[in-house]
Amino acid sequence: MELLREQWHLLVKTDNLLGPRHALSGVLGQLDTIDELLATAGTASRPQVVRLAAQYAESASWLYEDSGGIAEAR
């Protein structure tokens, strides 16, 4: 989980330095990983995984919007 949190910060930096299109693929890839974690998360860790999924999903929406993908942002 900590690695995914750190990765999120790096993807934010990537967006700031290179633009949303460069960060979007990383965010989407990590969302796939988080989906896999949700499938196996126990009761104790599930709320943390859901919060992380929401953080990444919100970022994906912003990145889509910033790169002109308004339909995908929704």
- Tell me what pLDDT residue 71 has: 78
| Predicted TM-score (pTM) of this structure | 0.89
Cα(51)–Cα(23) distance, integer angstroms: 20
The pLDDT, as a whole number, for residue 73 is 67
Q: Would you say 24 and 64 are in contact if contact means Cβ atoms under 8 Å apart?
A: yes
Buried b / exposed e over 33-65, threshold 16 CB at 10 Å, is ebeebeeebeeeeeeebeebbebbeebbebbbe
Please report, in tens digits, the pLDDT of each residue of the chain (74 residues total): 899 999 999 999 999 999 999 999 999 999 999 999 999 999 999 999 999 999 999 999 999 998 987 778 67
